[in-house]
Structure 1
Amino acid sequence: MIDPGADAFDQFEIDGWRRIASDYRRELGPLTKRASSATVDAAQVAAGHLLLDVGTGPGYVAAEAILRGVDVVATDIAESMVDLARRAAPTAIVEVADARHLPYTAGRFDAVTAGFVLLHTAMPERMVAEAARVLKPGGRFAASVYDAPARARFVGLFGDALAGLPVVSPAMPPGPGLFDLASRERLESLLGAAGFEGVDVTTLGLLHQVQSPKALYDSFVLGTVRAAALLAAQSADQREPILAALGTQLEPYRSGDHYEVPVSFLLVTGRAPLDDRSSS
């Protein structure tokens, strides 16, 4: 049975992603897309394999897998994201589906990927359990999340900018923090509880170019759900100090006329256990 509080938080996130799909692709998509190749590598798929990409968003992982000759089914609960993914991965089967209740038979897929979706639900355990259910014995699961804010500075400095400022809390259901999964221990525990074996967590570090404090501010307003709700709850007078604080946080990363901001992702992988027939 789903916790009503968790369901309310998830619905808040779902409604938000339905609204901002195109803005997300423009504002933050160029950043998260950079994890796609590593995610497909981690899934260990090749031509002829069948991959399920849950929470596909604009279809970045699905499109990368197709380039490698992989057969792809991609899902997202937001219809507007499904529209984008169908354009990015035209040969994939792209469907509206809930990653917490996948409409597929057990043991159908060679691999399952989940790019930056586990951090947007109050029920990551349910999503991971569903991924385990639909995998073939020995199939691979690979998921990406943001690293801790001290290393994922592009998102971490937003919280640092707000620290000490008087901000109004937005009207939104309580839920997990954006960085609740941002540790090796938490990810290993999450996959281990679902029965995955050989769980491994790797780090993907990169630099993300930001043109100005205002561009960074706009990326949070237009390309996120929770941060956008918080910013929308502030008055115009309250938003100006936030923008100024973002500028202060960005300054150590100045490179000429722009900023080079460190970003770190965590990529967790695991293998579905072999059943008796597969191991004999």
Structure 2
Amino acid sequence: MTAFDVSERRIWDGRAEAYARTFARLCAHPVPRLLDAAGVGAGVRVLDVGCGSGTVTAAAAGRGAVVRAVDAEPGMVEATRRAAPGVDVQLGRLPELPYQEGEFDAAVANFVLNHVGRPAAALAELRRITRPGGRVAVTIWQVPGAAGQALVGRAAQAAGLTRPQWLATVDAEHDFPRTPQGLGALMSAAGLDDVRTEVLAWDHHVGAEDWWSGPASGVAAIGRLVNSRGPEGVAAAKREYDVLRAEFTKEDGELALPHVALLAQGSV
């Protein structure tokens, strides 16, 4: 594993329930488009890689697909088993999945490439476990992102919080531009054909306290930043957040947070 992979395991350790309560609804937005891109329908053998709280798995099962799922975090495995009873969910991590070559008709990974230290190797593994003629579809967060994606980070910065030293970044030799062109080139380099990418932009509507509860609970890298100086740091960031959130607050009191992601698909 790279230093980034080790960091990710530490970030997500024990955070499955907090993620399900907070950021899971945000990450669910592209799921129908993701499954469409992979051609997931009745009878299709599909693997949900990095299944998280089980949103993609349950949606694929609802389409009548023959679904299996895998995640690197034991809590996420259990969450997906609860969300999609009867689905085979295993513990495993990219780029070494516990499946045979060509075992699936389709492989999907919703916001998973953001969390691996070797994205090209991860995509090559998705291609390996997908049969010839099958499809691979992935989503990632675009960089730079939209204004709503930066809200909590701005609050943390205003509070004087700094990124913990143990939070690693992807090594330069393994990184890629998080743009439509960059993601498309990575898919092609992994050996996928007929690669297509598109930008997905939407406003995530959420209560202000609900949105804050994810980072405050330590979910994701932003959560570890918010908690980097203990309760005092969390409180300081919350004060800044309460000021900055006014930019996104609508008449009903909810936040409308602009987000932008990328969806890519290719055939084996």
TM-score in terms of structure 1 length? 0.86
- In the alignment, structure 1 residue 158 sits paired with structure 2 residue 152: yes
Shift of the 92–244 alpha-carbon distance from structure 1 to 2, 3 Å rule, reads: same
CA distance in 2, matches of 1:54, 1:238: 34
CA distance in 1, matches of 2:17, 2:137: 25
What letter matches 1:211 in structure 2? G
What letter matches 1:83 in structure 2? E
Q: What residue number does 1:24 align with?
A: 19
Aligned counterpart for 1:102 among listed residues 97, 100, 111: 97
Q: What residue number does 1:187 align with?
A: 183
CA distance in 2, matches of 1:182, 1:221: 26
CA contact (8 A) 1:59 1:86 kept: yes
Shift of the 56–98 alpha-carbon distance from structure 1 to 2, 3 Å rule, reads: same
Q: What residue number does 2:73 align with?
A: 78
Partner of 2:184, secondary structure, is helix
Larger mean CA deviation between 136-145 and 232-241 belongs to 232-241
Listed one character per residue, the Cα deviations across residues 28-57 of structure 1 (whole Å, up to 9, x for unaligned) are 111112221111111112211100111011
Partner of 1:128, secondary structure, is helix
Q: What residue number does 1:33 align with?
A: 28
Listed one character per residue, the Cα deviations across residues 206-233 of structure 1 (whole Å, up to 9, x for unaligned) are 2222322x44332213262311221222
Identity %: 30
- In the alignment, structure 1 residue 254 sits paired with structure 2 residue 231: no
Deviation at 1:161, TM superposition (A): 3.2
CA contact (8 A) 2:149 2:257 kept: no
CA contact (8 A) 1:157 1:246 kept: yes
CA contact (8 A) 1:27 1:223 kept: no
TM-score in terms of structure 2 length? 0.90
What letter matches 2:249 in structure 1? R
CA distance in 1, matches of 2:95, 2:204: 31
Q: What residue number does 1:15 align with?
A: 10
CA distance in 1, matches of 2:176, 2:204: 22
CA distance in 1, matches of 2:81, 2:263: 25
Which ranges in structure 1 are unaligned for 5 or more consecutive residues?
273-280
What letter matches 2:112 in structure 1? V
CA distance in 2, matches of 1:225, 1:258: 22
| Map 1:30-179 → 2, pairs under 5 A | 30-151=25-146, 153-163=147-157, 166-176=160-170
Corresponding residue pairs, total: 264
Larger mean CA deviation between 14-23 and 246-255 belongs to 246-255
CA RMSD of superposed structures (Å): 2.2
Shift of the 150–126 alpha-carbon distance from structure 1 to 2, 3 Å rule, reads: closer
What letter matches 2:256 in structure 1? E
Aligned counterpart for 1:221 among listed residues 213, 216, 219: 216
CA distance in 2, matches of 1:182, 1:71: 31
Q: What residue number does 1:208 align with?
A: 204
What letter matches 1:200 in structure 2? R
Deviation at 1:174, TM superposition (A): 2.2
Which ranges in structure 2 are unaligned for 5 or more consecutive residues?
none
CA contact (8 A) 1:145 1:181 kept: no
CA contact (8 A) 2:156 2:225 kept: no
What letter matches 2:89 in structure 1? V
Partner of 2:265, secondary structure, is strand
